[in-house]
Amino acid sequence: EAYYACALSGLTFLPLNSRLAAPELEYIFDDSDARALLLSKPFAGIYDELKSRAPSLEITIGMGLDELSDGMHDYEALLAAATDQAQPVAASGDDIIQIYYTSGTTGDPKGVCLTNDNIYWCGVDCVSVMDFRLGSVWLHSAPMFHLADAVAFWAVPLVGGAQVCVHFEPERVLHLIEKERVTITSLPATLIALIANHADLSKYDLSSLTQIMYGGSPTPLGVLQKAEEFFPGEMLLHTYGITETAGLACCLHPQDHDLTIGEDGHYRAASCGPPTPLIDVRVIDENDRDLTAGDIGEVVFGGPKIMREYWRKPEITAKALRGDWYHTGDMGYLDETGHLYLVDRKKDMIISGAENIYSVEVENVISTHPSVREVAVIGIPHEVWGEQVHAVIVPLEGALDVSSEDIIEFCRGRIGGYKIPKTISFDDGPLPTTGPGKIAKRRLRDPFWEGADRRI
């Protein structure tokens, strides 16, 4: 309701990640100057602290709260008092309709500005490559503050479909698929794995389900093999997209979802697929020249779905948008058939359970611990979440009593819980470097990834 209401009212909608800590939310409020807040239960516990840090905030509307704070409006009461006299506000295609804040490699989040045109073409693109049709029923069970799920808000109305919402729990998801005859959904591979490992999966009638879109995190081969035991390969749609491309950018067609490992150790389903109809893709060298098939370079995207700008960051926008192409910072290659493969990132980003985690954000916090001399944060394999956050720490001389528990506790409340390292190792130092002040993270990562699958 909020997505559609803001669009019809000419307001800019800014979804907030419910897993962020108060200081991170404070930055977003300060940067965006947001004036109204729709407050749901995940944020209720930090509302008082957040309100004191958000001077621009004028209106707060409580949604499904057990108790309303002073001055707060009740969402359901406002709906009940509404009339049918309101008319949609006229807007242009280039007006900003949504801002999604993503983590930044410098530590500050960046507001990705998507326009009315971006969102419209997002819906059209989804309909063109996914199994949307008249009567489709989409299940929202992944977080709606990510475009991986939110793309359905714009695709479903184009085909006259329905939408069902549920907080993810395997039993509830399976029950609703059966009850509501769900036909299509989007799930990070981590959630597919949880469902595939569900002991009572066979007792549910899932025959209505025709397609599951997945992506958003590195997916170990074993997870996909387990998923295919219950969900046929022709049902699984491997996609790759980023917020700056308004969602989908590449889509591996179901007929290519092949997990057979070739002599070279690769398998077709490791590909992100070809670009979607409304996306252009190139792989370029450091001089922005196109590379030939098989050569690794930076992946860049173009087309009508590319974001307008980063909110209030003209210099970063100019660097990312060059010559009508968005420079992703992801490294990959195209094969002879135009299928995209991602192999690494310029940005030291970790993807854990479909959440993007930039190592510099975590390093910035840990480096302020009084016992830490050096720190490097890397992603290491995790059988369910794809990757997990691992910190390599060189303690200050004499700080012999610092422990993993100390570091983890130090991070709590300073960054979102999902960004806090799950494991920590200590090193005598100095950490290896590739140049002045540049830690050689590949040398730290490689031992953890020997024999493990790493894919995007």
Answer yes or no: are the C-beta atoms of 431 and 439 closer than 8 Å. yes
Do 143 and 62 share a structural domain? no
Do 185 and 147 share a structural domain? yes
**CB count, 10 Å around CB of 107?**
14
CA distance 1 to 55: 26
Do 118 and 65 share a structural domain? no
**CB count, 10 Å around CB of 165?**
11
Q: Is residue 298 part of a domain?
A: yes
Q: What is the pLDDT of residues 430-443, one digit of tens each?
A: 888 764 446 888 88
Do 420 and 280 share a structural domain? no
Do 230 and 193 share a structural domain? yes
CA distance 364 to 346: 19
Q: Is the pLDDT of residue 400 over 60?
A: yes
| Domain's final residue, options 90, 125, 142 | 90
Residue 303 CB partners (closer than 8 Å, separation 6+): 121, 245, 278, 279, 280
CA distance 356 to 105: 11
Q: Is residue 107 part of a domain?
A: no
Q: What is the CA radius of gyration of the chain?
A: 22
Q: Is residue 454 part of a domain?
A: no
Lateral strand order in the sheet of 309-310: 96-102, 110-115, 309-310
84: enclosing H helix or E strand? none
Q: Is residue 38 part of a domain?
A: yes
Q: Which residues of 119-143 are buried (b: 16+ CB within 10 A; e: fewer)?
A: bbbbbbbbbebbbbeeebbbbbbbb
| Domain's final residue, options 318, 345, 372 | 345
Q: Is residue 382 part of a domain?
A: yes
Do 47 and 132 share a structural domain? no
The β-bridge relationship of strands 184-186 and 162-165 is unpaired
Q: Is the pLDDT of residue 296 over 90?
A: no
Identify the top-confidence range among 80-89, 219-228, 286-295, 444-453: 286-295
CA distance 77 to 26: 28
Do 224 and 279 share a structural domain? yes
The pLDDT score that the predictor gives to residue 223 is 66
Residue 179 CB partners (closer than 8 Å, separation 6+): none
425: enclosing H helix or E strand? strand 423-426
| Domain's final residue, options 313, 345, 377 | 345
Q: Is residue 165 part of a domain?
A: yes
Do 23 and 9 share a structural domain? yes
CA distance 390 to 421: 5
282: enclosing H helix or E strand? strand 280-284
Do 292 and 435 share a structural domain? no
In the chain, the number of structural domains is 3
Which position has the higher pLDDT, 80 or 397?
A: 80
DSSP code, position 13: B
Answer yes or no: are the C-beta atoms of 127 and 155 closer than 8 Å. yes
The β-bridge relationship of strands 423-426 and 386-395 is parallel
Cis ω for the linkage preceding 188 (within 30 of 0) = no
Provide the mean pLDDT of the chain. Answer: 88
When pLDDT is cut at 50, 70 and 90, the band that residue 95 belongs to is: very high
Question: CA–CA distance from 86 to each of 83, 96, 132, 401 (Å)?
Answer: 7, 21, 31, 64
CA distance 61 to 422: 35
CATH number for the domain spanning 32: value is 3.40.50.980
Do 281 and 162 share a structural domain? yes
**CB count, 10 Å around CB of 185?**
24
* Range name among 200-204, 362-366, 413-417, 446-450 with the lowest pLDDT average: 200-204
Q: Is residue 286 part of a domain?
A: yes
Do 187 and 80 share a structural domain? no
CATH number for the domain spanning 246: value is 3.40.50.12780
Residue 263 CA from chain centroid, whole number: 33
Q: Is residue 455 part of a domain?
A: no
Q: What is the pLDDT of residues 162-186, one digit of tens each?
A: 999 998 888 899 999 999 999 999 9
Q: Is the pLDDT of residue 374 over 90?
A: no
Domain that holds residue 25: 2-90
User: Bridge partners of 169?
Assistant: none
Residue 82: HSE in the Cβ half-sphere, 13 Å Cα cutoff: 12
216: enclosing H helix or E strand? none
Q: What is the pLDDT of residues 122-158, one digit of tens each?
A: 999 999 999 999 999 999 998 888 888 999 999 999 9
Do 197 and 50 share a structural domain? no
